[in-house]
Structure 1
């Protein structure tokens, strides 16, 4: 065993297990979360929100997608506290069970035709539980992987959290494809959409088996062993680290890009009221291909952030993705399927990953071990909550019959990505090449326990 291996947190083996657990757990949990997003665009307007006004049905259905994000800040407070006081592993198991059970229940719901107004009410309740559950997933998984990762490789290993999320989105879109191909429209709307939700029982058991194998992180274990676990990590984060929490809120507005690509874009392309009339099956392939490319790109960008820093790829990716939203929506408006595929790959699969692959390491590095999950979870989920309200906003300001939907929605999306970029520029760099700065006054992102451990790793494995 080399000196470098001896100083790695529980060795290379546990690092790989943590990364695999974070990847698979995030993939399974976000499969649950995003099958709802797909169904909300494709079928929920017809079966849960029937209306003589199709615009009202579309807006109502997309609003229930946003409801899940409204619950996320509440979940972030509770699950962030649990993650910082009882451990990263425990909070991830709680998230998994809540998500799996609530998603399976959506597949059992009666429709509006069967129970009237109770159908959308029950749908909203289950979506709130989903939002509560997913609030601790990325912050918990990112913190777990980050705290197991060796010195100078945090960006690379933490990026696997988001690679898992992208894989979950692929599964969410891909599971609808054979149903869309094999079923008539009546059968798909009548019962076929329920199958992906009921398959969550498999997701639940598979995720539990995988996540129970990973050890608690050494940083949390050392903190707890020295009596450093705070009684109120949420208060500590809000009191001592609110500037970085505000930055994370603003940076998390970058979620506008997947909102445009998968939620509003799907409604714009498929819903008859907009008049585009793109085939539902063809459109389902767009996020699948984009996410496949993203899975390939993410670890390379994560590794790049270990070499050149976190902020540069995040800012470049944010601004470029914002500009491409104009072209993407324009391609849909003219029903140019090849162009829509190409822009989807560029916007979502490549340039957006400059942000997406890096924030799982950048966000938790902004906070100390004792308040890491709380600080990241609360701030990130407030930001994503705001962007989740955008599909309904887009459908309101650019409703069916609007003259220039791509320009209106594209301008809003680019403005939001500019805000995220400014927030990122204002944050301090946290990557490996700036480790020397972590011991300086004012650099509070790493506490003494974690700093000493990283310094030992840097001595054993110098840059």
Structure 2
């Protein structure tokens, strides 16, 4: 067997291995992140904040969810730089360790009734560590998979990063479901809620062994071998790609959709002060089913983006999911659980994936390999920081007792998704740009014929690998 054949076989193997590692690692790490989101909406208002005013407790609990996003830009600067100078693999291992330790810490915290004000202070500090850690996860995993993927298949392979994220959310809610359903409410509020957080010990161990076995990307090795890692990748990103970073900031505002669905939607549906009265264990099935559908559809959308491009799907996903947010909140307001289920699946499980399945390839394709992790991490996390404050803003714009909650919150959501859609429209199309030219100011896509030939070759090679 020739050396070129062996190298080609190894490259195909690494493409699959990198995709599997990104999927599993993201699923495990975002399990940690999302169990906090569920607890912040369903449990924490009564456990970590004064019980004198339920409305204030809800707002403060949701604010701690948003606080995690305050640490994201800081984590993005540090972890993005780490990924561009120390390697994609190393930064992913560091992210996993920080997230696991912080999540276990939340599971061990005393409540407000036990230690008073120190309880919410400690909760905020651990949430900051979580936000710091997760800032480097998507950019590192997306860059690793993208740089291992064959030409003409980058959208498909990179989509597994977000499929793992969605599965992590399914797992997070699935852990809460049997606890909320089978445990007496007193036991669940007293200690049962801690179980999902303490299970992160297993997450940390499993994630470490999974990611330790992945090879560093050939793109990073090439940059390292040519001794190009000098100076600051971050300063170069701001100097040469600030326009692309601004586009990513605006497109990342699409995070408003999961915020509306899993955070504000959960509060609106289950908290007594809003008067809807959905049972916690029943309502938790809405994000579970929606994410199961997302897990199934994401690879198909990623593959579609390799055929028709990234921008059309992102724009359609942004506008469509923004419009559907009105119907989703309306279904909750009229206490129609079946309708909420159907619209949640349509909005979040299907339409939103036009963006969600594609940004792991679209974002890193905007930047050259020299500072890919830094630029993507900083821009994406600045964008999501803005949306992280929205749950608290929503409760202020439409507090309990407001009659037009679906209209108010839906209008804000649609406005945000329109900004994201316009930013995607302004971005260059990247799905047919060769890897070595990505992020270059004069990059041009290959011809349709050459692209189809390269894609067919990648497909046939993967089938025989």
| Partner Cα distance (1:317, 1:378) in 2 | 23
Whether 1:328 and 2:328 are equivalent positions in the alignment is: yes
- Give the 3 Å change call, closer, same or farther, for CA 5–183 of structure 1 in structure 2: farther
Partner residue, 1:443: 442
| Partner Cα distance (2:215, 2:132) in 1 | 24
| Partner Cα distance (2:316, 2:366) in 1 | 20
| Partner Cα distance (2:5, 2:359) in 1 | 26
| Partner Cα distance (1:4, 1:406) in 2 | 59
Find the residue that maps to 2:82 and give its secondary structure.
helix
TM-score, normalised to structure 1, is 0.94
Task: Indicate conservation of the 8 Å contact 1:158/1:361, yes or no.
Answer: yes
Whether 1:207 and 2:193 are equivalent positions in the alignment is: no
Q: Compute the displacement of 1:229 (Å).
A: 1.9
More displaced stretch, 225-234 vs 167-176: 225-234
Partner residue, 1:450: none
Partner residue, 1:242: 242
Partner residue, 2:375: 375
Q: Compute the displacement of 1:10 (Å).
A: 3.9
Task: Indicate conservation of the 8 Å contact 1:322/1:414, yes or no.
Answer: yes
Whether 1:310 and 2:310 are equivalent positions in the alignment is: yes
Partner residue, 1:88: 88
Whether 1:144 and 2:144 are equivalent positions in the alignment is: yes
Q: Compute the displacement of 1:5 (Å).
A: 6.2
Q: Compute the displacement of 1:378 (Å).
A: 0.1
Partner residue, 1:337: 337
Unmatched runs of 5 consecutive residues or more in structure 2: 460-465
Partner residue, 1:188: 188
Partner residue, 1:449: none
Whether 1:388 and 2:383 are equivalent positions in the alignment is: no
Q: Compute the displacement of 1:443 (Å).
A: 3.0
TM-score, normalised to structure 2, is 0.94
| Partner Cα distance (1:5, 1:435) in 2 | 21
- Give the 3 Å change call, closer, same or farther, for CA 440–211 of structure 1 in structure 2: closer
Task: Indicate conservation of the 8 Å contact 1:365/1:445, yes or no.
Answer: no
| Partner Cα distance (2:328, 2:456) in 1 | 48
| Partner Cα distance (1:386, 1:267) in 2 | 20
| Partner Cα distance (1:208, 1:33) in 2 | 17
Partner residue, 2:348: 348
Q: Compute the displacement of 1:461 (Å).
A: 3.6
Q: Compute the displacement of 1:37 (Å).
A: 0.3
1:283-304 Cα offsets, whole Å, 9 max, x none, are 1000000000001110000000
1:255-310 Cα offsets, whole Å, 9 max, x none, are 00000000000000000110100111111000000000001110000000000000
For 1:50-449, list aligned pairs within 5 A.
Answer: 50-432=50-432, 434-435=433-434, 438=437, 442-443=441-442
1:345-404 Cα offsets, whole Å, 9 max, x none, are 100000000000000000000000010000000000000111000000001111101111
| Partner Cα distance (2:164, 2:387) in 1 | 21
Task: Indicate conservation of the 8 Å contact 2:366/2:438, yes or no.
Answer: no
Task: Indicate conservation of the 8 Å contact 1:107/1:194, yes or no.
Answer: yes
Number of aligned residue pairs: 454
Find the residue that maps to 1:277 and give its secondary structure.
coil
| Partner Cα distance (1:332, 1:235) in 2 | 46
Task: Indicate conservation of the 8 Å contact 2:367/2:440, yes or no.
Answer: no
| Partner Cα distance (2:311, 2:40) in 1 | 34
Q: Compute the displacement of 1:50 (Å).
A: 2.2
- Give the 3 Å change call, closer, same or farther, for CA 396–86 of structure 1 in structure 2: same
| Partner Cα distance (2:3, 2:174) in 1 | 45
| Partner Cα distance (2:435, 2:105) in 1 | 50
Q: Compute the displacement of 1:419 (Å).
A: 0.1
